[in-house]
Chain A
Amino acid sequence: MPRRACVVALILFTLSFAGAQASIHEFYVDALVGGALPVSWASESPTLSHLGFDALAAFEYDAPFGVPLRIELGYLGVSASRISSSGELYRAWQGGRVALLSGYIIDQFSLGQLGQARISLLAGGALTAADYTDTALAFAYPSIVLEPRIALILRGARAKGIVTGPSLSLPIELMFRAGTYSLAPGLSLGWRYRLGAIL
């Protein structure tokens, strides 16, 4: 675990310096729903795929030096995996998840009459409290998240002073579950609310 934490910290540190080019300080709220195709494996066990979904709320702040800081609070559900020819599978699980991400605003550009687009790459860690579906078994696990995102602020998408627009992210999460690994590439779609500059 300490080694994994160091890797995550190093990634965040590097990306933070790269992100210092940007210089906007704004506050955003996102609501997203998404699907994922997790794949689980363990030593001497088959590699099998699941179906997953999640719903989350995220709070993102463009900290000084243009580094986005993002907290995600969400609920996730993952189905039981496919079944191997020996009758083995991985259990379904569901739980609540909190993630802390930071990274790099790759580009932010005008779409002319349409509005603005921002492309960012975030990375960080997540902690999940969960239970195996249909059992009374509770567990918890950490994970590493890499999240490329694109968010649009449409011109004219303004109501009561809050600017809104669609957002899309392609998160990839590597979960460390009790000696078993699950890699979950996903796609999340949602709506972003720009609450305005606060600095």
Chain B
Amino acid sequence: MKLRFVPLTRTYAIVALAGILALLFAACAQDVKITAPRYALVFGVQDYLYARDLQYTLADATSMSTLLSAQGWQVTLATDTGATRAKIIAAIAALGSVESDSTVLIYFSGHGDTSSDYSTSYLCPSDTNFATDDTVDTSTEISASQLSTMLDALPTSNVIVLLDCCFSGGSIDPGSAVDASPQDYYSMQSYSAFSTAMSQFGSLLVSNSKDSGKKAPIVISAAGSEEESYDGPDGTNNNGQSPVTTNTSINMSHGIFTYYLLKAQDKGDSNGDGVVTTTEAFAYSCEQIQAWDENLTWEDVNYYGYYPFLPHISGGVRDLVLFTN
């Protein structure tokens, strides 16, 4: 009896397991086809009217525009004098008639600014008034909250924001989650999301219960709210100096974040489903920039003032498709 029962049980168990696994895979196998319209506003500011010009932001915007167009996005590209504060606001407002199931993408490459206590971050349009190196007329900039208000007014909640500028982490809304990666990665300290979840378990449960599930834009920033991002590995810093990191051998010809974000279209599909989501694009660019950070030399950091930085992504349960491949 025992000799008969055991093999039969095993056979039934194996057949049942195989059936369940087949059902599960069949349920999740998917040929992804996005039919809803997708609109992109791409801004690049290289030639500032009242501030230090940048080196690769025009290339950033042009390449991003080309890639998104090839991906089926309906792209509006605005650069330099086409990306003044008034024109950026008008362009976003013009999206007020898009379909409710459409996806809207806003990309910005240019200068970023922050308040002295890092509590408010700003995008710097081409007509931003830098009175001196240290003071800016913030009324000529676009604050994170102003941008958020404009995006909330759109008919769709499928909104992606990609920011390649300094201090852009101030535009990140972690929602009910906590962003474990530091807003200033200067000391390259290690961090763990799971450890953070364990150590802040109680407060995270409270935040979770208060979350209304409101759909917030998915934002990827080049840097933390207290960090600068760099206009190419061979770009100059505020003192006109270039880093001596071995990574200058990579001919990026783009801002570092945008360079890896563009490459994510080809190399970022971590689960092989044929699409690159914002989370996958973030993960790929973050991993590559972390490797770039690790190659910064002592001179880069301590003499030239090139500090490590990391991209950040906003919280929430949702994700959106960014690229297909």
Contacts and interface: CB of A to CB of B under 8 A. Distances in A.
Interface stretch (B61-69, B119-127, B199-207, B250-258): B199-207
Nearest to B28: A51
Given A85-B33, A90-B317, A177-B208, 13 more contacts: A49-B27, A79-B271, A87-B38, A91-B317, A91-B318, A113-B1, A114-B2, A132-B315, A135-B282, A138-B178, A179-B211, A179-B214, A187-B20
Interface of A: 1, 35, 37, 40, 42-45, 49-51, 79-80, 82-83, 85-92, 94-96, 112-114, 127, 129-142, 154-156, 166, 176-180, 187, 189
A89 B316 CA distance: 11
A129 B1 contact: no
Interface string B87-111: 0000000000000011100000000
B275 interface: yes
Contact of B209 (A1, A45, A112): A1
A129 B204 contact: yes
Interface stretch (B49-57, B169-177, B225-233): B169-177
Interface string B262-298: 0000000011010101011011000000000000000
Interface stretch (B74-82, B133-141, B146-154, B189-197): B189-197
27 contacts: A45-B318, A51-B28, A83-B30, A83-B273, A83-B275, A85-B34, A85-B36, A87-B38, A87-B158, A89-B319, A89-B320, A132-B177, A135-B193, A136-B179, A136-B181, A137-B178, A137-B313, A138-B178, A138-B194, A140-B197, A140-B205, A140-B208, A142-B208, A155-B2, A176-B208, A178-B317, A180-B213
A190 to B, nearest CB: 11
A83 B321 contact: yes
B20 A178 contact: no
A166 B194 CA distance: 32
Nearest to A111: B5
Nearest 8 Cβ contacts at the A-B interface: A179-B213, A131-B193, A134-B283, A140-B204, A138-B197, A87-B321, A136-B181, A129-B197
A137 B205 contact: no
A165 to B, nearest CB: 10
A138 B320 CA distance: 19
B318 A90 contact: yes
Given A86-B103, A129-B198, A136-B179, A79 B20 contact: no
B196 A138 contact: yes
Contact of B317 (A35, A86, A180, A189): A180
Contact of A139 (B25, B283, B315): B315
A102 to B, nearest CB: 22
B212 interface: yes
B174 A131 contact: no
Given A50-B28, A85-B36, A180-B317, A95 B197 contact: yes
B176 A178 contact: yes
A120 B146 CA distance: 56
Interface of B: 1-2, 5, 9, 13, 17, 20-21, 23-25, 27-28, 30, 32-36, 38, 101-103, 157-158, 174-181, 191, 193-194, 196-198, 200-201, 204-205, 207-209, 211-215, 270-271, 273, 275, 277, 279-280, 282-283, 312-313, 315-321
B6 to A, nearest CB: 8
A51, A92, A139, A141 — most chain B CB neighbours (10 Å): A139
Nearest to B176: A178
A139 B176 contact: yes
A47 to B, nearest CB: 13
A18 to B, nearest CB: 29
A20 to B, nearest CB: 32
B279 A134 contact: yes
Contact of B20 (A35, A43, A133): A35
Given A82-B30, A138-B178, A138-B194, A35 B21 contact: yes
Contact of A135 (B211, B273, B279): B279
Contacts of A80: 271, 277, 279, 319
Nearest to B317: A180
A136 B193 contact: yes
A141 B205 contact: yes
B157, B207, B313 — most chain A CB neighbours (10 Å): B313
Given A86-B34, A178-B176, A44 B157 contact: yes
Contacts of A154: 2
B278 to A, nearest CB: 9
Contact of B205 (A40, A43, A142): A142
B62 to A, nearest CB: 24
Contacts of B201: 127, 129, 140
A132 to B, nearest CB: 7
A130 B176 CA distance: 12
B211 A178 contact: yes
